[in-house]
Structure 1
Amino acid sequence: MEQFYLLLEKFKKGQASAPDIALLETLMQQGADEPLKAAMLAAYQRSILEKEQVLPAEKTTALLDRLHAAIAADAAVHSRKRSLRALLLPLSAAAAVLVLLGVVYLKYRADRSKPAAITVASRHISNNGGGVKTLALADGSVIQLAPNSTLAWKDSAVLRRLTLQGKAEFIVQADPKKPFTVETAGVTVTALGTIFTVSTQTVNKVAVKLSEGKVQIHTAHQQEDVYLSPGEEYAINTITRTFDIKRAGSPKVPVNKAPEANNVVLSFNNEPLDQALHTLGAHFKTKVCFQQEDVSALYFTGKVLKRDSLQSILAAICAMNQLELRATADSIIISK
């Protein structure tokens, strides 16, 4: 029995060798019933493999002190000739408690060490009143939600993506790293630091009016995205998918009317993005830097007009492809 105590002390201090573990197994086979023996052996082996105590040192010491005291009292009352099995049964029961507490402690510690899950809160706001409702987003953007309109979005550290039913004006806080996107009736409007209005209040029609800045409009049925300049209004029929663009106070411009030839300076049709960036950099005499792997398998279709700036074009391209844009004194850097 003294040998068992010595081995148990070694185990408690993390000093038990492989032969010590084997001997403990032998003693357990002699004196414990199968379930307790298996539990103790599993605890020993796990402690050796993971090189850690089942319980913290102070808890292990306290429990073992109580265990030793109980066994000593039991031995004083009963005959010293008592069988090894009879002595080991209370010891095995107490050891099983150690194993159980150890498992609970390890699970608690493992749960504490896991990173907290990142939750994305969903927001849903309706305006059922008679006046415009003003909403302020966490990023500083402001939304004027018209009556009988509904807006839904999810708070995210990466994207600003909203879904609209009805009409709203968006005053967007510029952030190239977080594109601001409004989706409605199959039309996607992406903005970078701008003021624009989106409306679905007319049946089978989506209208986008740009007051300031620049927006990109994308639909699944268009081969090319549309870019609006301040004062322009885009309207699309959601049934026929035909659309037109007009300036405030001027007649509509048919979509099939191409820009004047002397107004288009560059045109891209499904061009690999790396080549398009090189072409844009050369045209605007500005160095555009990027890593090839960041733009591989990406393509660009669109026209560059005389009034367009390199910064606005690249900002729109980055918004479409989830890329980041950073301007330096003599170059523009694009990255993921």
Structure 2
Amino acid sequence: MTYKDLIKKFLNSETNDAETHEVNLFLQQPEAQAVFNEAWDEMEPEMKATAPTPDVESLLLRQWKKEIHKRIAAEDNSSIAKPRKPGYLRYAMAAAILLLLTLGGYGIFNTFYNGQNTEIAMTVANPTGKNMLIVLPDNSKVWLGPGSTLDHPKRFDDDTRELSLSGEAFFDVTKDPDKPFIIRTGDIYTKVLGTSFKIEAFEGGAPIVAVSTGKVRVAREHDGEMKELAILAPGEQVTWDPRQKKAVKTAVDKTEVLEWKDGKQVFNDLPLQDITKVLQRWYGMEITISDPGLRQMRLYTSLTNGMPIEDIMEVLAATGSFQYEIKGKTINIHKKI
């Protein structure tokens, strides 16, 4: 078997331990790059045929890049072989990307080494579509929204039940007074004992925590210290404004918070451009608004994830008095002529 064939086998996760070791040794050699590139080019058409949308790919690649560095670092620390050359990282990243794309993006797509301890954690991704139900090791339930990822341990063996979220999700937490449930979203930490609540924390946006039942404590880590932002009761939410560096606590309809997990979302006085961002996550489509005035037009409406996009656009067009065109995976919104 040639090294090119062996590399293809390795990228398809079909090598045994001895073959994997042989690939790792070969990738340290100067001539490896040309062989690897040739194998990669021959496999690329198949990879592209199973690849998700660019938005999905971007979402998952960010997570993969973060975790592959951890895996390689862990492997290097435990290895007695000579240090790998910088080019090895490129090969490992390429292998990770190929595996990512062939998985299609849904469900659990990776296990990774956790630098905190030796516990194995699971990364779950829901790039587009409907909310995804996840049952955690303690039987807590998570409804993971489109465009979101969740990291959680395979087992909750420590004194706390810790996980991290990028995006939005609804949590129904099993009560366990001896093990607080903590969700990390960037530098915002949400701590509960047993309750139901929703978190929205997309990259670049303002994190929001809204409570349906029970009580929730929200804090922010800054300069190594935790600062409490709010203690929330049912029907309350807190929004962290990263620009003004302050937390804003407001009332929220707890029924709407609860119904979000079933795909129903109420938009109260929101700009059309913010509503279309949600629809893009739901349907994996690109939505453009040609007129600046339409982008800032504020609407009151209720939509359900799973409705045909044509029906949703009819509702929005009637509410906002605009026109639209659907062409493939693109929607163009413009003023009425």
User: Fold match, TM over 0.5?
Assistant: no
Q: TM-score, normalised by structure 2?
A: 0.37
State the structure with more CA Rg. Answer: 1
